[in-house]
Amino acid sequence: MSRFCKRAGLILIFVTPIALSQQEEEPNLGGEDLLSDEIIFDDNLFGNIFDESPNNNEESWLEGFTVRVSQQFYGQVNNHSVEPLPGFSFPRKAEMENNRLGLNIRYQNAFAPGWLLQASGQARAYWNEDYEYRANGGKIDAEYRVNEFFLQRSFEQNSFKFGRQTVVWGETVGNSVLDVINHIEFRDMTIIDIEDARLNQWMVVWDYFGEDSNWSSFINLYPEFNPAPVRGSPFFFEPQFNLTDYKRDGDAIFEVGTQWRKSFDLSDISFMAAYLYENQLRYEDPINNIGDALAKKNDFILLGFSANRAIGRLLLNFDLAFSHNVLADNFNLPGISSLASPLDLEKDQIGTSFGFEWAPDNDQSLSLGIQAQKVLDEDKGLLPGQQLVNEGVFGSWLVRYSNIFLNNDLTLASTLQGDLEGDSLLAMLSVNYTIDDNWTVEAQVISINSNSNSPLIFFDEDLRIGTTISYSF
């Protein structure tokens, strides 16, 4: 805890000179009458922008880069114990979880008429006391990955994108039942929004922009699956058998889908259909209990519909999904799969997500999303004594609220999310302050409460505090 506070203190030391430097140039206001017509205003105050060439077509290719450097500190600060089972408890001590330097680079270049190259990637360095540092045997560790990387060709009514990208379906904010195309990774508690967890895949996407409606179709020639929890992360628990990625063994697997979308006055609707693989692998015990757990993939058919409707400053969202042949015994939480007694049953499932977004004024916004799913013919195929992981209606709810102050420089945001059964609650409060056009600083507090019916019981009464300072250019 004390070490964590020291790190947080460093942030303040880091930021303070920036704030002070902005005050050093304070001009003398005393005695000057701002309303006087004698005061001279020169609009070159902001540089000679009017002297630049108005038709500068020879921009440097380097101008396509956007870079963000960030340093993050994050830790669990509540010393307590957790009792997932009666009589079995373990301590949860306050400790630093994240102490890492991040580099995010994005590049976009429309290098010729109708052509565009877009790429983004990230690198992380894990410093002392970061969980990845500890998992690396107490040595500084580093990691990098490519996120987006696609080439786009647009002509007439068509656009093709080849490469790593994401496809997002559904209208409901944060927990749509249709947002299942790309795999996700909730690596630790700093990532609680699906927008941050979504991973890119190698795809070809074809968009057709019609006069009254649009088609968007994709084919994924290399479907990927939710990665297993990283050793050392808060979500990592030593499994009986090592959880590995799916072994393709030369399998040629693919995903394909299409969406038709049309906008009306104050409303948008979409219909979609897809052949997909479940993003979450199911793990089974290895043969003869030797070696790694066996990762099993499952393909299914998705049919969906989504719509929204704006009424004044209120936006209603609705998604409907029918899934044919999903595995009945997969947990609905990312990164967690059932290992014990797999039922190996495929079933149909129907799900909906719905909610609203409301902006009571120009600074505040409130959204609610409810996701509910149900396995059809639950009992069919079950042996006596067998039970589905998810029985009846199951799902989650999500509330987000934000309020901006100081001419958009300060944003207060909060998120509440839990499951429909009321077994768990995650609450997050964040403050984001934009210091200037380059620097931002964010602080977060996250608390979790859960009972033993939820996998989040392992994080019950956890309280996390974190801060991130970023420089963008």
Partner 1 sequence: MISRGIKLVAGSIFLITFAGNILGQDLNGFDIMKLVDDAQRASNDSSFNRMQLSSCKFGVTDGRITCAERPRVKSLESVAKNYGPELMDTKSVTITIEPAAERGVGMLSFAYDETGRDNETWLYLSALGRVKRIASGDSDEETEPASLFGSEFTTEDTETGKLEEYTINILEETTTAGRDVWKIEMIPNEERARKTRYSRQVHYIDKERYVGLRSEMYDQYGKEVKRLMASRVELVNDIWMARSLTMMNLVTNRLSNMAFVEIYTDLDIQDEFLTQRTLTDAAYRETELENLRAQLN
Going from the C-alpha of 419 to that of each of 208, 209, 371, 394, 453, the distances in angstroms are: 38, 38, 9, 8, 11
Q: According to CB under 8 A, which residues from 35 to 54 bind partner 1? A: 35, 38-43, 45-46, 49-50, 52, 54
**Measured between alpha carbons, how far is 314 from 307 in angstroms, rounded to an integer?**
14
Region of 389 please: left (phi>0), alpha (psi -120 to 50) or beta. Answer: alpha
Nearest alpha-carbon partner for 100 in 156, 144, 137: 144
CB of 387 to partner 1, least distance (A): 37
Q: What values do phi and psi take at 9, rounded to 5?
A: -60, -35
By CB under 8 A, residue 440 contacts partner 1: yes
By CB under 8 A, residue 90 contacts partner 1: no
**Measured between alpha carbons, how far is 224 from 277 in angstroms, rounded to an integer?**
9
Nearer to partner 1 (CB atom), residue 288 or residue 362: 362
Q: Convert residues 415-434 into a mask of x (bound to partner 1 by CB under 8 A) and - (unbound).
A: -------------------x
By CB under 8 A, residue 407 contacts partner 1: yes
- The CA-based angle 155-158-161, given to 5 degrees, is 95
189-193 contacts at long range (C-beta below 8 A, 24 or more positions apart): 189/74, 189/97, 189/234, 189/446, 189/459, 189/462, 189/464, 190/72, 190/74, 190/98, 190/444, 190/466, 192/415, 192/417, 192/426, 192/428, 192/446, 193/415
Contact present, 448 and 413 (Cβ < 8 Å): no
By CB under 8 A, residue 58 contacts partner 1: no
By CB under 8 A, residue 61 contacts partner 1: no
Q: Convert residues 168-207 into a mask of x (bound to partner 1 by CB under 8 A) and - (unbound).
A: x--------------------------xx-x--------x
By CB under 8 A, residue 154 contacts partner 1: yes
Compute how many residues bind partner 1; rule: CB under 8 A.
76
Strand partners, 329: none
Q: What values do phi and psi take at 5, rounded to 5?
A: -65, -35
CB of 160 to partner 1, least distance (A): 9
Q: According to CB under 8 A, which residues from 296 to 325 bind partner 1? A: 308, 310-315
CB of 113 to partner 1, least distance (A): 5
Nearer to partner 1 (CB atom), residue 35 or residue 290: 35
Q: According to CB under 8 A, which residues from 257 to 286 bind partner 1? A: 263, 265-266, 268
Q: Convert residues 101-140 into a mask of x (bound to partner 1 by CB under 8 A) and - (unbound).
A: -----x-x-x--xxxx-x----------------------
Joined together, the tokens standing for residue 10 give: 């460093």
By CB under 8 A, residue 22 contacts partner 1: yes
CB of 183 to partner 1, least distance (A): 14
Q: According to CB under 8 A, which residues from 356 to 375 bind partner 1? A: 357-359, 361-363
